Each structure stands twice: as structure tokens, then as C-alpha cells.
Amino acid sequence: MKVGHRLRREIPLYLMILPPLALLVIYNYGPMLGLVMAFQRFNPALGFLKSPWVGLYYFQRMLILPDVGRVIGNTLYIATLKIVFDTVAAVVVAILLADIRSARFKKTVQTIIYYPYFLSWVILGGIFKDFLAVDGLVNRFLGLFGVAPIRFLSTAPLFPWILVSTEVWQITGFGTILFLAAILGINPQLYEAASLDGAGWLRRTWHVTLPGMRTTIVVMLLISLGSILNAGFDQILNLYSTSVYSTGDVIDTWVYRAGIQQAQYSLAAAVGLFRSVVSFVLIAVGYYFAYKKADYRVF
Amino acid sequence: MIDRSRARTAFRVLNGTFFVLYAALCLVPVLQVLAISLSSNTAVVSGRVLLWPQMATLRSYSYILEKDAFWTAMQVSAVRVVLGVSVSMAMTVLAAYPLSLSKEKFRARGAIVWLFLFAMLFSGGMIPTYMVVRYTGLINSIWALVVPCAVQIFNIVLMMNFFRSIPPDVSESAEIDGAGHWLILLRIYLPLSLPSLATMVVFTMVFHWNSWFDGLLYMNESVKYPMQTYLQAILVQPNPRMITKATAELLRLISDRTLKAAQVFIAAIPVLLAYPFLQRFFVSGILLGSVKE
């Protein structure tokens, strides 16, 4: 094929990719370039190009602000707990679900446990504020055992655990899908062989099911590495209050308050830049190993 | 395989019980909100409402449905969903087709794929994004809820993978007949991928219906809030003052609490309606872009 002809055939392809590519450049790459504002005393009226440069001033401020250390600590703590509990819960529920024989019962259970995943945290926030209220169902239930009403959403030491448990409540069902698929992919002959060797359910689970799920578990853990600085912005913003800032305020909620509500644009952008860079490194490392170990790839 | 031991049977019973309880736990919080929304305030205040409405009344619902603010938010959401889904789907298809071709057919593919991939891994974050949206003149416009999130890279990957699964002979024979890329995309690829497109449309609808933070971020006036943002604003306010011109009789039936509960439930209805469609597809949908062993 001649060069000119080839190019002519490619012109429609460039025309097609142009609109999405333009939006990608403006709204994804624009903000990346806009991160220069972290090195400026940013003034929205002057913009990214004309705001005065201040070098690392805001990064130095970030290091001495007690808030920042606290929110990074909270973020790591909450996100780690979530990764561990989300994964364990989904793996366990998937294994138990795979053991159910009645197809109808299984399907009904799946329908019910998957649905919370699709509700927004605005709705779930509204729901849990009633559910966990002083006169809510949880406290009524605990009251049966003589436990005094607990202010779940405004007790600082409890708050991270509320975040973990409500998230586990929301996504465990949906999270089982991948693990169930992994279990279904296990060669049934392995189970038969194990049974012939006299292995009971527990030993079959330990020696056949879990090893069969290993790749999927490892890949999911590697990928969730990237979310270690993302402790669940939507969830926290809809559940937290000033009384739990000490344990529930995370990087994203802090950036929102500092950057949007208090208009400390450059400081918030500096913290945001820190978050983006660390997340990027972890995501890249996670994907790299997922690719190496399990041939996982997106494109 | 025959289970010999009694322990095994006991385990199955326990396992079944566990799932009954687990499923109940998934439903109970929603049922409580529904019960509160359908109960009289008197019953709610006295703590009689558990999972079943007490002194049932629809007054909370009728009160909300009479409010202009509610309908305004509903309208913003409806416009947002229609515009958002159309623009986003167009972008997905337009990006997925060229990227699904081989490097020989689309030589820029390699570089462009990297641009999309990198944007999946690295983001400028909330503050610079807000500034870009502001500088592109979208603040306070419905387009702020549509354009910045129009390129859904994950959807593009799913669509691209789907286009790739279409046998190459189909497009090759069309090419021999002289069909160009536009014709192949519109007449062959799109009709063949209608089921995938339908799935993605439903997912994108739910995404747009559920989104609330961009409304809070980019809209300066609360009359421009979509439903979820409007609801969020009500829920986080300590005293939302939803009730105006109240008579004693009305306050026996409704309160801010019953009104909040009713609105939470109304906002969940579209998702619950879409759910059967979602469920039919999401299992295959999320497996598509994941572990390939």
C-alpha cells in the first residue's frame, strides 16, 4: 500500500479519536499540568501561567501542619483496614456461597447481597444515619442485651470501624463475583482426588479452593495497593462530622475542605500532588507485579 | 459425591442460616428507612418504628412531591442523565473503535493507548481539576456534570475489548467492498455490539444518577443541584427546615426525619428499578476487564 493511501485511510480514525482525545487532554492532562499551582501562590484570577512562583513553600508548610500528618495517618489506617477486611470478607463469602447447592437459594442470596453496591453514599449515608442512630435498630438490638445506646457516628475511636463495617456491608457481595469465578475455574477433578484421599470440606477448601483462588486474590490485593491513599471520600464525606475529625478525616476530605471551602488552593494542591504521586507509584508497582505474576493487563 | 458425615450436613445448615442472616442484614437498614418514611412522626418520635410502618401515612411523600425544590432537582438529574449518557457513550464508541484496530491499521494507536492508560493511573486531583473546569467556563452549567466525566476510560477498555472480539473477517470483507471506517463502525460494529452498548448505557445512567460530588463542587446555586446533591445538602444540614407553614396536625404526621427518609428512598428507586437489568449483565461486564489467566 502506498503511504498516501494508507494515511488517507487513517484520517477517519483520527477524526473519531479526536473528540475523546481532546476531552482527555483538557480534563485529565489539564489538571496534571495544573499541579504547578502547588509551587505557586495560586490566584484563580491570574491562572496557572501568571500566578507568582513560591517554590517548595507549600510543601514545607504541609510538613509542619499537624493536620496533614494526622490525615495521612488516618488515611493509611482506614485504607489498610478496608483492604484487609474487604478482601477477607469477599473471599470467605465466595467460598461459602460456592458451597450452596440449591440454585434458587443461591441466586436469591446473590441478588440481595449485590444490590447495596449500586446505591450512592448519599443514600447509604442517609440510611446508616438512621440505622446507627441512638434510637436506631443497632442500638435497639444491643439494648436487648442491656448495652447503653452508643453514638456510633460521633464517637471518634469507633469511627474507623464504622467506615470499615459499612463498606464491608456495601461491597462484600459484589466483591465475591471475581472470587466465585475463580472458584468455578478450579478443575473439579482436584476436588474428587482430594475426596478420594479422604480430605473433608475444610481440608479441600484449604488445599484446593484457596490455592485455586490465589492468583485472583494476589491480583486484587496488588491492584488495591493503589487505593491505599483513598480511604473512601464519598463514604466519609457523607458520614463524618467535626466530632470524629481526629480519626475520620482523611487526605481527600481535608483537601476538599482546605482547597474548596477555605480557598487555600495551593496548599490543598500540594497535599493533592503528594497523594497523586504516591498513589501513582503504588498503582504502577501493583499493576506491574499483577502483570508479571498473573499476566493481568488492562489494555 | 456423597457426604458421609453428619458434620457436613450440620455445616450446610449453618451455611444456609448464615446466608439468610447476611441477606437480612443487607435489607434491614433499607427497610428501616422505608418504615420511617411511611410512619407518622408521632410513632417515630416515640420509638415504635422498627421495620414496619406504624400509624402508616403517605403524608411525607405527598409533602415532598408538592415541593418545587424536589422537582427542580429531579429535572436537573433527568437532563444530566440524558446528556451525560449520550455524550459519554459517543466518546466511548469513538475512542474504542480506533483503539481496537491493530497497529498496522492505526499507526498512532500505541501512543494514544499510553495517553489513556496513563490518565487511568495518574490524576491531577480535586483542586486543579476544579480550576480547569472553572477556566473552561463550565461552573454553574449543566455541562460541568457531563463533559469533565465524559471520557470513562474503563468503559473504553471494555468496549475496545468487545470490538476486538468481533471476527476480523467481518470488517475485512466490508473493506474489500470499499467500506470506510465510519461505515464499518456504524453499520457493522455498532449493530453487533447492541447488547454490550445497552449494558453500558444502564451502568452509565446509574453512574450519572448516583453522582453528587461534582454537583456540590461545580454548582454555585442549590437550584442547579441534581437530585443526589440536593439530597446530600439536606442530609448534612443539622436543621434543614424542610417544613414551612406547619400546622400541629401536620407535625403529628411528618417531621424532618420522616421527610429525609422518604427522600432517601425516592432517590434510591431509580437504581432499584435498574437493578434487575444491571444484574443480568454485570457479572460478565466486570469479568471482561479483569483477570485473564
For testing the chain B interface, which of A28, A141, A202 should be mutated: the one with the most B CBs within 10 Å? Answer: A28
Q: What is the pLDDT of residues B16-63, one digit of tens each?
A: 999 999 999 999 999 999 999 999 999 998 888 888 999 999 999 999
If pLDDT is split at 50, 70 and 90, which confidence band does B284 have? low
R_g of chain A, CA atoms, integer Å: 25
Q: Kindly list the structural domains of chain B, giving each domain's residue range(s) and its CATH number in brackets, ordered by start.
A: 6-66+242-288 (no CATH), 76-213 (1.10.3720.10)
pLDDT range class, residue B293, cuts 50, 70, 90: very low
**Considering CB atoms only, which of A34, A128, A265 is closest to B132?**
A34
Chain A neighbors of B148, CB-CB under 8 A: 23, 27
What is the mean pLDDT of the segment spanning A64-70? 90
3-class SS of residue A230: coil
What confidence score (pLDDT) does residue A47 get? 92
The predicted-structure confidence for A75-125, as pLDDT tens digits, reads as follows: 999 999 999 999 999 999 999 999 998 999 999 999 999 999 999 999 999
Q: Does B131 touch chain A (CB under 8 A)?
A: yes
Helix (H) or strand (E) holding A154: none
**pLDDT bucket at B286, cuts 50 / 70 / 90:** low
Query: For residue A40, what are the β-bridge partners?
Result: A53
Whether residue B286 lies within 8 A of chain A, CB to CB, comes out as yes
pLDDT tens figures, B252-279 = 888 888 999 999 999 999 999 988 888 8
Tell me the chain A residues in contact with residue B263 when contact means C-beta distances shorter than 8 Å: 126
Query: How would DSSP label each residue in chain B?
Result: -----HHHHHHHHHHHHHHHHHHHHHHHHHHHHHHHHTS-HHHHHTT--SSS-SS--SHHHHHHHT-HHHHHHHHHHHHHHHHHHHHHHHHHHHHHHHHHS-TTT-TTHHHHHHHHHHHHH----HHHHHHHHHHTT-TTSGGGGTSTT---HHHHHHHHHHHHTS-HHHHHHHHHTT--HHHIIIIIIHHHTHHHHHHHHHHHHHHHHH--HHHHHH-SSGGG--HHHHHHHHHHSSS-----S--HHHHHH--HHHHHHHHHHHHHHHHHHHHHHHHHHHHHHHHHTS---
Other CB atoms within 10 A of residue A199 CB: 16
**Mean of per-residue pLDDT scores for chain B:** 89
Q: Would you call A298 and B122 a contact, using CB atoms and an 8 Å cutoff? A: no
